[in-house]
Amino acid sequence: MPEKPGKLMPALYGGVIMGVISGVPILSFINCFCCAGIMLGGFMAVFFYKKDLKESSPPLSNADGLALGALAGLVGAVVTTVLTALMHLVFGMAMGGGMQRLHDMGLGDRIPPETMRMIEGIMSDKGLLGIAFIFHLVIDPLFGLIGGLIGYAVFKSKVSPVMPPPPPVQH
Amino acid sequence: MRFARLTYTAILSGALVWCALILLAPAAASSSGFGPLGSLVYAFFSPLCHQIASRSFHLFGEPLAVCGRCSAIYFGFLAGTIIYPLYRMRKGSPRAPQPGRMYLILSILPVLIDFTLEAAGVYDSSNVIRAATGAWFGVMLPFLIIPGAVEGVSQLFARPKPQAVTPVKGLIDA
């Protein structure tokens, strides 16, 4: 009997979609609609898996949807955290550079202390990344599972109804 | 059957805890001494919802942890999960059939229309419309999720029963 294709690559693709949506600032607003971005990652993992299935392979099952959704969630958590860290670094450095320029121009004193504290907080909040990672490690597989199950419901092959045997012909 | 019950209980417990947290945020924020707990719960839900106060329902004068639409989806999901066993009993089958894509489209269509028209600036939605369309989606979702989760968990963890071996008379005698 032919085996099912591997789940790792479809889960990876789904997880990357999930991570990019959650980690990129403006895109992450999609998650404001009930974690739609996270669910989309699980859903897409099932879509990619379904594309790899051959006609001779066993059909897509709910277990595949669950496993793909959870795996995509784990990958998504890592990708989200890495992207968030990168964003932190890029924006932190940009803010830091901007602050330095303001100081060089002699305008540093005009920045309100609350704003200064906020900017310094953004630049040094490494602990928040750890909390964000734990958060995504819990939430992403959970909503990924839901996305995987929705994906199964959408992509499952239609079962052809079993025709009853014809009645015996009576002479 | 054991997996079905376990899976259903896990989903119901998860939905209960989730909804309790949504209510806990305003309750804690409005009580003296529990403010930090309220802030923690609001922070937990902040990546999941925009939390705009004017678009949220209020409890004890404080907004819920998520907006009106999200609240309705989550509480609708809880209601659907509670109703689900009754539907299954009515169907008379231990495993109710899992609906397909048409069911999903029908459940999500109202909330999508409301969201899209409002985002496009065609009309101004209200909290009641947002909540009604969200609740419709939320209530219908468990009927799609639970049968799939029950079947999926059974497929993943249930061990196949060992087949009874019928002794072949000639072999045993020999």
Model pLDDT for residues B38-95, shown as the tens digit of each residue: 888 998 888 888 888 888 999 999 999 999 999 999 999 999 999 998 887 766 555 5
Tell me how many domains chain A contains. Answer: 1
B151 interaction partners in chain A (CB closer than 8 Å): 61-63
Residue A76: closest CA among A138, A143, A148, A14 = A14
Mean pLDDT throughout B23-38?
A: 88
A156 touches chain B (CB under 8 A): yes
Residue B98: closest CA among B140, B56, B133, B38 = B140
For an interface test with A, give the residue of B48, B116, B145 to mutate (most A CBs within 10 A). B48
Q: A119 lies in a domain?
A: yes
Q: A21 lies in a domain?
A: yes
Q: A49 lies in a domain?
A: yes
Q: A29 lies in a domain?
A: yes
A65 interaction partners in chain B (CB closer than 8 Å): 148, 152
ipTM: 0.78
Are residues A139 and A70 in contact, defined by beta-carbon separation less than 8 angstroms? no
Distance CA A163, CA B16 (A): 44
| SS3 of residue A162 by DSSP | coil
The 10s digit of each residue's pLDDT in A42-57 is: 999 999 999 888 878 7
Q: A146 lies in a domain?
A: yes
Containing A100, the helix (H) or strand (E) segment is helix A62-104
Mean pLDDT throughout A134-163?
A: 82
CB contact under 8 A, A154 and B101: yes
Structural domain boundaries of chain B? Answer: 2-158
Q: A136 lies in a domain?
A: yes
Q: Does B1 have pLDDT greater than 90?
A: no
Q: Which has the higher per-residue pLDDT, A124 or B17?
A: B17
Query: Exposed, middle or buried by CB within 10 Å (0-12, 13-18, 19+), for A119?
Result: middle
Are residues B118 and A25 in contact, defined by beta-carbon separation less than 8 angstroms? no
List the domain range (segments joined by +) for residue A35.
8-152
Mean pLDDT throughout B141-158?
A: 87
DSSP for B54-82, please give it. Answer: GGS-EETTEE-SS-HHHHHHHHHHHHHHH
B99 touches chain A (CB under 8 A): yes
pLDDT at A91: 73
Containing B148, the helix (H) or strand (E) segment is helix B127-157
For an interface test with A, give the residue of B118, B151, B157 to mutate (most A CBs within 10 A). B151
The 10s digit of each residue's pLDDT in B99-132 is: 777 888 898 899 989 988 888 888 888 889 999 9
| SS3 of residue A50 by DSSP | helix
| SS3 of residue B87 by DSSP | helix
